[in-house]
Amino acid sequence: MRETERLAKEVKEFAVRSGADLVGIVSAATIDALPPVWVGWTIREYTGKTTDTMPDAKSIIVVGYNVWDEMLETAIRKDGGWVYPGYFPLTTITLRVARFLETGGFKTALSFTGSYKRLAQLAGFGNYGKNSLIINPVYGPWIRLAPILTNAEIIADKPFETDLCGECDACIKACPMGALSPYRVDDAKCLVGLHLNDLGGSRYVEAIRRFEPALSRCSHLMCMECQKACRYGKRG
């Protein structure tokens, strides 16, 4: 077994033991060769390259975590901003994997301005769905993503090439705000963004009450209608 293959096997096994549901490897050169894409919402910037963060980056470990309960779709207001419990497990997992690599003498970085969805497709997780989320054959759209950059050379996985959506447009029909068109979400219409950014005022009170119900004074569930409509990863 080549060193790049051995390291891939060890990293993946360690990530799974640390709580990851999906783990894949992407070559830094592969993602850097793609043209930049605009990221809207509150980010409002084009994606960058791995070399912007780590000049000698060789690989990206992509971690996926299954959002197994609606509780993980909560948004909590804190100090004027928002925190999301659905991402808390990823923080622990990526820190542990980074430490594992650093113990082996490699450099790591957990911040990256690239497209996580592109990384997930290249890592073999699933296809970019009509709801603008990554669709996994097992977990459907119920996954959260995080990258780990490293200067370790690790054999990359094959991209996911299957179109899981096909002719299905259930997610588009399910969106209560009409924010979806095939493979695109209008962030000026999506209820999640409108609510988190306090936009729209009284016009969306009824939609928020129905699809983003409050759990407490400072928390609410985020809209999941397009995810619930997906035929993959259906909840029992």
Give the pLDDT confidence of 168-177 residue by residue, as tens digits: 999 999 999 9
Query: What single-letter amino acid sits at 155?
Result: I
Residue 9 is assigned to a structural domain of this protein: yes
pTM of the full structure: 0.93
CA distance 185 to 178: 9
Residue 197 is assigned to a structural domain of this protein: no
- Domain with 113, as residue range(s), is 3-69+85-150
The confidence score (pLDDT) of residue 117 equals 94
Residue 169 is assigned to a structural domain of this protein: no
Residue 141 is assigned to a structural domain of this protein: yes
Residue 91 is assigned to a structural domain of this protein: yes
Residue 203 is assigned to a structural domain of this protein: no
The confidence score (pLDDT) of residue 87 equals 92
Residue 186 is assigned to a structural domain of this protein: no
CA distance 51 to 2: 26
69-94 average pLDDT score: 92
Residue 222 is assigned to a structural domain of this protein: no
